[in-house]
Amino acid sequence: MKIYTKTGDKGTTSLIGGKRVSKNHKRIEAYGTIDELIAFLGVVRDHIDDPDIQKSIIKIQDELMICAAILATDDFLISNIPKLSENSVVWLETEIDKMEKGLPTLNNFILPGGHAAVSFCHVARTVCRRAERVTIGIEENMTSFPIVVRYLNRLSDYLFVLSRRLSIDNQSIEITWQPLLE
């Protein structure tokens, strides 16, 4: 099978199920942004030494592939693809709670940076927020979209807490934003 099919040369692509849509269709934008997030999480994983966190990120990448498949599938075929369950959201919440133990209280916004892993984690978090916004903006009434939105919302929280955890693990300084009020 060749990587190029030439079927998209006129600016359209197929959803799973065969329906052709413009490459700038909101669903394509949504699952394309999730694809971008999956790639950034690979960069994050490559900058982390902790094998448990690496395994967690692989699990998240796998679940994001399911999110992308949900968004790429015609509603009538949705039963033929893997499912994302509420358990995935609960797992993220549990992981957040574990990572938050021992973190200093946060009273201000944080300026991203201090270590490559921390910075890439913040980039992944912002891409995740964009994926959430784009998914919410899809006007189609698909029954499986709400779990994707909940998952992305919780994942952005996970990535924020992970960035803080990585900052401590890498002994980098967490710089809080202090607004200059005149």
Q: What is the pLDDT of residues 45-89, one digit of tens each?
A: 999 999 999 999 999 999 999 999 888 887 655 566 778 899 999
Residue 75 pLDDT? 64
Residue 60 pLDDT? 98
- How far apart CA 16 and CA 9 sit, in angstroms, is 18
Question: Where are the domains positioned within the chain?
Answer: 17-93+108-173
**Quick one: which of 56, 76, 70 has its CA closest to 155?**
56
Interhelix angle 86-100/145-169, rounded to 10 degrees, is: 20
Residue 182 pLDDT? 65
Q: Consecutive sets of 10 residues in the chain, 182 residues long: mean pLDDT of each?
A: 68 67 78 95 96 97 94 68 89 96 87 94 97 84 77 97 94 86 66
> CATH topology for 17-93+108-173?
Hypothetical Protein Ta1238; Chain: A; (1.20.1200)
